[in-house]
Structure 1
Amino acid sequence: MVFPANPFKPTAGVMPPVLIGRESISLDFREGLEDGPGAPDRLMLITGPRGCGKTVMLTELGLIAKKRHWDVIDETASDGLCDRLIARIAPKPGLVSGATIKPTFMGASLGEISIAPALRPASLRDAIAAHLHTLGKGRGLLITIDETQDASLEDMTAISTAAQHLLRENAEVAFVFAGLPSLISDLLNAKVLTFLRRASIKELGDVPLDEVRTALASTIRGAGVSIDEDVLESATRATGGYPYMIQLVGYGIWRHARRRDDGNDHAIRAEDVKIGVEQARAKLGAGVCAPVVKRLSKRCVEYLMAMAQDDGPSSTSDIANRMGENMNYANGYRQRLLDEHVITSSSWGKVDFAIPFLREYLRAEYPNGNDEGASA
């Protein structure tokens, strides 16, 4: 009998076979739609480090809305976000105020529109209202924005202003924003965005290992493949509860077991976990950690390497001493790394890695403190 297809999906944004540890968010959102206009979870902010499953969570909430026959508009923050939203929600510029067609190649229009910044809040509000008017009773519109930390203040002001008016008018709408943890301080603290402070904030962290173990067991055994408890425990611990690593580990051990299998075994063994975990760590390092380190300056990497000597949060004074610099000098690199969302300020005078497994990656790649791979 052929070994079953691999059920694990370590691809950014792709729905995994089981959504682990996020059920409460799905339930809150579902209840928000059921409870009608005014429900707090119709305005939601999802935050967490890279690879924690924010995009997957947006996909899941979109599926919940679609099952209720709502329309869903998904966008990723970048230049022109608000104009793109208006174009997608109300493709006919005549339906909104202040809209003009953008000229395109050879005079052909692709339906893009340009809105004067001052008119964007009203234009987006008009576009959503016009869209809602076309929907039947009981239907609504969900707008999700991924990577919200990359949105301009002007676009976020327009979106939050439009959302504020629509929610006050009891319109059948919902807004879900997702981004890095800095999203809360960078956007919510802006005076023009005080409305977003009322959002239901969902912080995605590591998944408890007992939930990881249950999910791995159900996924593996549910596909007709056996795994002993001690082997399952090794695979579980290797994930560290990091959602992306859960998928990488699952995918790696499954692939090795399938290649080893002779057609009669259909089991995941200790050797599969050993090789699969090694491959998962390599992929995590190459796909997540290496690109981050590569774009940093040499001294920023030295700051990270000084942090990597600790097993947990690092004292900023200890880091400065390890770098052989005074606090003011070292704090300049601390701020750069905070701005790049590579580290977090865990408490007064303490910093920690914002990217899971970055500490382990630095220890493996630069065991002797060699940071030649970093830019000047």
Structure 2
Amino acid sequence: MPRSSRGDRPQTGPSSPAALEAAERNPFTPGFGLVPRVLALQGTPVEDFAAALAGRRGAGERSVLIAGARGVGKTVLLGQLREVAARAGWRTLVLHTSSASMVEELRGGAVDLLREVDPEAEQMRATSAEGGAFGVRAGADVEFVDRYAGEKVPLGRLLERLAALLTRDGGGLLVSVDEVQSADHAQLREVTQHLQDLIGAGHGAGFLAAGIRTGVDELLAHPGTTFLRRAHRIDISSVDVGTAAEVIRQTVADTSRSITPEAAVRAGEISHGYPYLIQVIGAEAWARAGDASTIEIEDVDAARAATIDAMVVNVHGPALRDVTGRRMDYLQAMLEDEGPSAVGDVAARLGLDTRAAGVHRARLIGEELLQASGHGRVALALPYLREALERVRETGSTRRAAAPAQVTRPVRRNG
């Protein structure tokens, strides 16, 4: 995983009066796409991108493709890059794969931005005979006309005008797409072709995208994605347990509370270094500490069940929704083993030869549900996937029967 933009330690933001006022609020942010107070990201992708925008690195690094499993912080990093761009004077048009047409969404965003930055967006036009061929004479009746209303200007010309204006002012134009693996291929090809044209013409332009690793790989194998293949790719994954514990400790340290070293380590262990779980275990332990000034190991242990449930429902539920037939049988057959499974054993349980079983195994590895674990062995790839599969086996779904009870510590030790 990339290193932090502030050296090897997790990144923290400066304190502010607003932050201090909200110090007793739960500081963890377990929702997808929410920016944590302390980031588990390690490395320099943010600085590298900032350097590319400033011209200190190749222009090709202004186009970034972020790939990783669900919940590892892809959307958070995407947001960081957009913030860096905004501080550098660049403007970003955010497209959505769920829109009816990303191309038309790009057109609408470009027009709105042109109306903001183009000094000629409103043109004066004479409405009486006093207006002549050489301009508007004094006393003539005039009206202001929206240059970008009415008949459609070709999208390429709109983007050319917009990029030229932004580049002239020392910035540039970025287009950003999250969940890029879900984009319509033809629409995405047209969008990226326009950006390639802008870059080729020497304008400040770039593309930011994020998606599930397997979906990104499939997308890049599709004809017409040459532009994306040239983008600077960042693959992100979990962090080590020590980093996870430090993220949790620093997040609490930014409040009036504290967390014991043992509790922070236990929370890191429960999270398995998975960024989403870091936020969930932190939020649940904070809540279970009640009004105590120190979060202790018993609070973390009490939060474990709810943390696992959040992972099963919010991460594994969507991932397993489309896993049916022999692929689900393969995963269920692995539950007989406490650790990694021998591929021959799983094939025998399914009543298949190893070659036939290998087809299902390869697909599950491609979907990031399995991972190779030594010669002839495979393991479940993500934390608490076993618990999710056990729930599917017992109930047919990953949905919870009832929310885990939230019990706060009854005895306060605030002295």
Q: How does 1:75-114 map to 2 (within 5 A)?
A: 75-78=95-98, 79-91=100-112
| CA 1:31–1:155: 2 relative to 1, 3 Å | same
Query: Is 1:324 the counterpart of 2:351 in the alignment?
Result: yes
- Structure 1 residue corresponding to 2:93, chosen from 54, 67, 73: 73
- Structure 1 residue corresponding to 2:65, chosen from 38, 41, 45: 45
- Structure 1 residue corresponding to 2:247, chosen from 215, 223, 230: 215
C-alpha separation between the residues in 2 aligned to 1:176 and 1:294?
Answer: 28
CA contact (8 A) 1:65 1:71 kept: yes
- Structure 2 residue corresponding to 1:233, chosen from 249, 259, 265: 265
- Aligned residue pairs total 343
> Once superposed, what is the RMSD of the aligned Cα atoms?
3.4
Q: Deviation string for 1:325-375 (max 9, x for gaps)?
A: 334654564466467x35356599765545543134324x26xx657449x
CA contact (8 A) 1:149 1:180 kept: yes
Q: Given the two structures, how large is their TM-score scaled by the length of structure 2?
A: 0.72
Query: Is 1:296 the counterpart of 2:296 in the alignment?
Result: no
Counterpart amino acid of residue 302 in structure 1: D
SS at match of 1:21: coil
C-alpha separation between the residues in 1 aligned to 2:188 and 2:341?
Answer: 34
Aligned equivalent of 1:307:
334
| CA 1:183–1:127: 2 relative to 1, 3 Å | farther
SS at match of 2:233: strand
Q: How does 1:170-319 map to 2 (within 5 A)?
A: 170-257=202-289, 259=290, 261=291, 265-297=292-324, 299-309=326-336, 314=341, 316-319=343-346
Q: Deviation string for 1:9-45 (max 9, x for gaps)?
A: 1111111111212441111111111126843320111
SS at match of 1:127: helix
1:317 offset after TM fit, Å? 3.8
CA contact (8 A) 1:302 1:371 kept: no
SS at match of 1:74: strand
| CA 1:311–1:148: 2 relative to 1, 3 Å | farther
CA contact (8 A) 2:69 2:368 kept: no
Counterpart amino acid of residue 245 in structure 1: L
Aligned equivalent of 2:15:
none
1:90 offset after TM fit, Å? 2.6
CA contact (8 A) 1:6 1:254 kept: yes
C-alpha separation between the residues in 1 aligned to 2:340 and 2:197?
Answer: 43
1:71 offset after TM fit, Å? 1.2
C-alpha separation between the residues in 2 aligned to 1:158 and 1:209?
Answer: 43
C-alpha separation between the residues in 2 aligned to 1:127 and 1:353?
Answer: 49
C-alpha separation between the residues in 1 aligned to 2:113 and 2:251?
Answer: 46
Aligned equivalent of 2:79:
59
1:297 offset after TM fit, Å? 2.6
Aligned equivalent of 1:20:
40
Counterpart amino acid of residue 320 in structure 1: A
| CA 1:92–1:40: 2 relative to 1, 3 Å | closer
Q: Deviation string for 1:88-137 (max 9, x for gaps)?
A: 223599xxxxxxxxxxxxxxxxx9x9x9xxxxxx9554332222244351
1:181 offset after TM fit, Å? 1.1
Counterpart amino acid of residue 192 in structure 1: G
| CA 1:41–1:251: 2 relative to 1, 3 Å | same
Counterpart amino acid of residue 301 in structure 2: K
Q: Given the two structures, how large is their TM-score scaled by the length of structure 1?
A: 0.79
Counterpart amino acid of residue 311 in structure 2: L
C-alpha separation between the residues in 1 aligned to 2:256 and 2:113?
Answer: 52
- Structure 1 residue corresponding to 2:163, chosen from 110, 121, 132: 132
Q: Which has more radius of gyration?
A: 2
Please list every run of 5 or more consecutive structure 1 residues that lacks an aligned counterpart in the other structure. 94-110, 116-121
1:151 offset after TM fit, Å? 1.2
SS at match of 1:296: coil
Greater helix share, 1 or 2? Answer: 1
- Of 246-255 and 157-166, deviating more is 157-166
Identity %: 29
| CA 1:287–1:195: 2 relative to 1, 3 Å | closer
CA contact (8 A) 2:48 2:57 kept: no
- Of 133-142 and 13-22, deviating more is 133-142
C-alpha separation between the residues in 1 aligned to 2:303 and 2:247?
Answer: 17
Q: Deviation string for 1:228-252 (max 9, x for gaps)?
A: 2111111111110111101101110
- Structure 2 residue corresponding to 1:169, chosen from 201, 206, 224: 201
Counterpart amino acid of residue 289 in structure 1: H
Aligned equivalent of 1:357:
384
CA contact (8 A) 1:10 1:251 kept: yes
Q: Deviation string for 1:313-332 (max 9, x for gaps)?
A: 65544322222233465456
| CA 1:267–1:143: 2 relative to 1, 3 Å | same
C-alpha separation between the residues in 1 aligned to 2:77 and 2:22?
Answer: 33
1:202 offset after TM fit, Å? 0.3
1:83 offset after TM fit, Å? 2.3
CA contact (8 A) 2:333 2:350 kept: yes
1:216 offset after TM fit, Å? 1.3
1:290 offset after TM fit, Å? 2.9
Please list every run of 5 or more consecutive structure 2 residues that lacks an aligned counterpart in the other structure. 1-20, 115-147, 399-415
CA contact (8 A) 1:43 1:176 kept: yes
CA contact (8 A) 2:180 2:209 kept: yes
